[in-house]
């Protein structure tokens, strides 16, 4: 049984991959620095929502799947997967040394025969830098970059149904990575590391721009007192070239904004469409607060204003980079008393109490349960969930 070790394995990228590989007969170790997450996984529980993961976890944990905080687990592995992505700093510059630092810390436990796979989004050129690092310290680099492209919460389903991009620093590495991912993916698409790095960033930046044009149109139309969704529905009705037009909404999460900024840095900060998208998407919370302010007589001071939904996407518990928190800050600058409720986020106000107390509401994310609500107070819903 081939052994796979996933570094950072108890997160949103590592767990779906680990479960998928375990279901195909691999012996999988999830190495993570978070002891709480490790304990949760070994107890056959998930630290976050992931459709289809519970059944696989129950089937394989303690058999051919385990979680550990011990980095020594990499020593006996045939394949070592790093899921450390490239973050951006407070100036929106990619922090490539964060990736290199993690890889470098494991090099004393690696050997030249192992296949090393970089899995998360990385800044263009990082694969070649890691190759140089491995050649310098191990004398060889059996290295591949195979980016994940799954949607948050549906990783299990999409790993088995989406094509997998596979790249390697040489043909041997590429072939080894292709064999690995062919066990779980329906199709393997071979490209160079540079192409794979850009393909991942460009995909996320494209989605970010899609949301930005919808949000720009929303603000443009609503400012004039018109209904954005009446216009949008008219545009799309029976007209195929507009069928995929995105609706307005808070475009957030740990990837889209970050990866757009990485692509901009790659282009010497000349990705002007990306910068404009950032201004639009990051500016939407201010616009929504202004909308509610106008609907409540021009002032929110001292009023109980509820933000409904704190996760960054519907029916999910992941709050990373959620723009609902920016909504809260904007409301606080208006001297509002801010109420928070999200069925997936512990410690927030129960929905029934929230609905009783709120004097005004902004819908942060359209969880399915919220679609049945009929607020009796002024509200702003850029998602078009409630009646206008």
| pTM for this predicted structure | 0.91
pLDDT, tens digit (0-9, with 9 covering 90-100), for 329-351: 999 999 999 999 999 999 999 99
What pLDDT, on a 0 to 100 scale, did the predictor assign at position 72? 94
What pLDDT, on a 0 to 100 scale, did the predictor assign at position 358? 97
Rounded CA-CA distance 213/216 in Å is 5
Which spans in 251-323 are helix H? 256-266, 272-295
Q: What strands, in cross-sheet order, belong to the sheet with 27-31?
A: 65-68, 27-31, 3-7, 79-82, 115-118, 143-145, 164-168, 188-190
Give yes or no on whether 3-191 and 204-380 have one common fold: yes
List the end-to-end C-alpha distance of the chain, in Å, as a whole number: 58
What pLDDT, on a 0 to 100 scale, did the predictor assign at position 242? 93
Domain locations along the chain: 3-191, 204-380
What pLDDT, on a 0 to 100 scale, did the predictor assign at position 205? 96
pLDDT, tens digit (0-9, with 9 covering 90-100), for 186-230: 999 999 999 999 999 999 999 999 999 999 999 999 999 999 999
Mean pLDDT for the stretch of residues 284-293? 97
Residue 116 clears pLDDT 80, i.e. is over it: yes
pLDDT, tens digit (0-9, with 9 covering 90-100), for 242-266: 999 999 999 988 889 999 999 999 9
Pairing relationship of beta strands 360-363 and 304-308 according to DSSP bridges: parallel
Q: How confident is the model at residue 1 (pLDDT cuts 50, 70, 90)?
A: confident
Q: Where are the beta strands (DSSP E) in 216-347?
A: 304-308, 337-341
Q: What share of the chain is helix, strand, coil (3-state, %, to 5)?
A: 45, 15, 40
Diameter over CA atoms, the chain: 70
What pLDDT, on a 0 to 100 scale, did the predictor assign at position 95? 81
What pLDDT, on a 0 to 100 scale, did the predictor assign at position 85? 74
204-380 has which CATH code? 3.40.50.720
pLDDT cut 70: percent of the chain above it:
99
Q: Whose CA is closest to 383, among 289, 250, 207?
A: 250
pLDDT, tens digit (0-9, with 9 covering 90-100), for 16-59: 999 999 999 999 999 999 999 999 999 999 998 899 999 999 99
Indicate the CATH number of 3-191 among 3.40.50.1370, 3.30.30.10, 3.90.700.10, 3.40.50.720.
Answer: 3.40.50.720
């Amino acid at each position: 049984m081939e052994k796979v070790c996933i570094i950072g394995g108890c997160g949103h990228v590592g767990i779906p991959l680990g479960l998928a590989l375990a279901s195909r007969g691999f012996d999988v170790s999830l190495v993570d620095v978070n002891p709480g997450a490790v304990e949760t996984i070994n107890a056959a529980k998930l630290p976050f929502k992931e459709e289809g993961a519970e059944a696989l976890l129950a089937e394989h944990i303690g058999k051919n799947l385990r979680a550990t905080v011990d980095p020594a687990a990499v020593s006996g592995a045939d394949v070592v997967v790093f899921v450390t992505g490239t973050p951006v700093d407070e100036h929106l510059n990619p922090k490539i040394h964060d990736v290199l630092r993690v890889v470098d810390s494991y090099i004393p436990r690696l050997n030249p025969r192992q296949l090393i796979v970089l899995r998360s989004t990385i800044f263009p050129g990082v694969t070649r830098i890691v190759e140089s690092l491995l050649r310098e310290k191990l004398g060889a680099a059996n290295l591949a970059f195979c980016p994940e492209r799954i949607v948050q919460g549906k990783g299990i389903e999409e790993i088995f149904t989406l094509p997998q991009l596979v790249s390697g620093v040489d043909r041997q590495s590429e072939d080894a990575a292709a064999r690995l991912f062919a066990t779980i993916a329906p199709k393997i698409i071979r490209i160079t590391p540079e192409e794979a790095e850009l393909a991942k960033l460009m995909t996320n930046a494209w989605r970010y721009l899609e949301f930005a044009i919808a949000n720009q149109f929303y603000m443009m139309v609503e400012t004039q007192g018109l209904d954005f969704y009446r216009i949008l529905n008219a545009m799309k009705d029976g007209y195929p070239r507009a069928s995929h037009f995105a609706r307005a909404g808070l475009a957030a999460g740990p990837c889209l904004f970050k990866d757009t900024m990485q692509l901009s840095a790659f282009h010497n900060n000349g990705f002007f469409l990306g910068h404009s998208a950032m201004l639009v998407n990051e500016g939407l919370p201010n616009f929504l607060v202004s909308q509610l302010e106008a609907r409540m007589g021009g002032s929110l001071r001292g009023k109980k204003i509820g933000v409904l939904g704190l996760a960054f996407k519907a029916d999910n518990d992941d709050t990373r980079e959620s723009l609902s928190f920016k909504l809260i800050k904007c409301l606080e600058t208006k001297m509002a008393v801010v109420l928070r409720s999200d069925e997936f986020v512990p410690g927030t106000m129960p929905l029934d109490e929230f609905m009783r107390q709120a004097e005004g509401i902004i819908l942060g994310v359209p969880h399915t349960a919220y679609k049945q609500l009929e607020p009796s107070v002024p509200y702003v819903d850029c998602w078009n969930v409630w009646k206008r």
